[in-house]
Structure 1
């Protein structure tokens, strides 16, 4: 009986959906996190009678035919590209990206990562790094005697010094965009890497060619909508239960068939 295997694929799909929802809820306070959404597609169809075939009885063309579906599968777990709200922190190295774009991060071994997590820090050498200690590209070092740091919307980093009225320009952060952000590969630690699906990185100045701008003293909240996730969780749970009932019904039908004498 096909109903058993079909319902099993439905239960598996709803379980995957619950896993995606649980990950979203777990990251509802993660800086710069984009919610994920499970996407599904139907499986192969058995063509008992193909649409458009000639009826053997009277020679007419069948308008629909008989196509028996074999269930569902997970086609993708896609990232929802939506900016989270900006929360004021007051931190001089807290940077929120207001609009499109990612910071370019230099990883160990020469690899390049990308992030929207602007909770930056200053290491022992004065270099501006991420919370995991990875340097932001281009590298900018803050002098030890700097009394204040200012970062404008264009990503220019200025340092103020004692007994100096005019600030000193230390460097400028750039932003990276992709033709398909959903094609980026998540690495964990709020980092992504480029893939063939994402396209080549387009590096440029903030505020240019559709890139966003920086907001100093702010961080981007997670884009997870807790109410929506809980609603989807209930829906997924009910879908799982319905598929389980189909398996129970199919089992009862098979049991009744076996008992026929």
Structure 2
């Protein structure tokens, strides 16, 4: 079987994976706090037919070798952590993180998860939760009679209550989790990430302290997907796929010609 058929097959697979990543980015262009992905490729092993620097005759060495590649593969899908745009919603429970950090929530099994989605709401107990119903940690309970809610850049959560108009009463403090390698977090859907050995442990900080981002009330962070850039990447992947398809077709024609001899 011709080597080029298998090499082209790996090229088709890698470009298909690239299209999958691009499609996922475009599908989440309006997802709050979404971080776009990028497929990272690497070449496969080489068959060395002649070593570089091999001795030829008594006094000569080959300046270059003879190595035949075997294709490419997807090495990783990397999350790009650039800041998304801040969209002013006017909703008092919408908050955006400007800078580094994630909100921490508890999953039903007790596992800690992390999110950049600051579209918050209240549950039946008056606790601040994500749109998926996960309680923000540490829990913050908003009184039933709260007239207004104020969230400062430092994460301080305050309310005004009847009889105390103009007086803000602090009821809690938002915290942000930072990671030494946020690209190493594991995506699990619902705008949530899990800590991994690659990400390192979560470091809970007050917003604005030790490199943690600040909190912007009345805003949500939008996706950091650049539609124009993704469309260019899509065209590039499509053309690369077509070229590999052409290589498969050409190799097949050469093989067919060989069998007719």
Q: TM-score, normalised by structure 1?
A: 0.98
Q: Give, in angstroms, the shift of residue 167 of structure 1.
A: 1.3
Three-state SS of the structure 2 residue aligned to 1:197 is coil
Three-state SS of the structure 2 residue aligned to 1:104 is strand
Q: How does 1:1-261 map to 2 (within 5 A)?
A: 1-55=2-56, 57-164=57-164, 165-260=166-261
1:174-209 deviations in Å (ceiling 9; x for gaps): 111100011000010000000000001111111111
Which range is displaced more, 144-153 or 158-167? 158-167
Q: Give, in angstroms, the shift of residue 50 of structure 1.
A: 1.2
Q: Which runs of 5+ in 2 are unaligned?
A: none
Three-state SS of the structure 2 residue aligned to 1:234 is helix
1:65-119 deviations in Å (ceiling 9; x for gaps): 1011000000000001111000000111100001110001111121100000000
CA RMSD of aligned residues (A): 0.8
Q: TM-score, normalised by structure 2?
A: 0.98
Three-state SS of the structure 2 residue aligned to 1:100 is coil
Q: Give, in angstroms, the shift of residue 58 of structure 1.
A: 4.6
The 4+ residue runs of structure 1 with deviation greater than 4 A are none
CA distance in 2: counterparts of 1:60 and 1:211, whole angstroms: 61
Q: Give, in angstroms, the shift of residue 132 of structure 1.
A: 1.2
Q: Give, in angstroms, the shift of residue 59 of structure 1.
A: 4.0
CA distance in 2: counterparts of 1:173 and 1:217, whole angstroms: 15
CA distance in 1: counterparts of 2:33 and 2:256, whole angstroms: 53
CA distance in 1: counterparts of 2:172 and 2:258, whole angstroms: 78
CA distance in 1: counterparts of 2:228 and 2:151, whole angstroms: 35
1:202-235 deviations in Å (ceiling 9; x for gaps): 1111111111100000000100000110111011
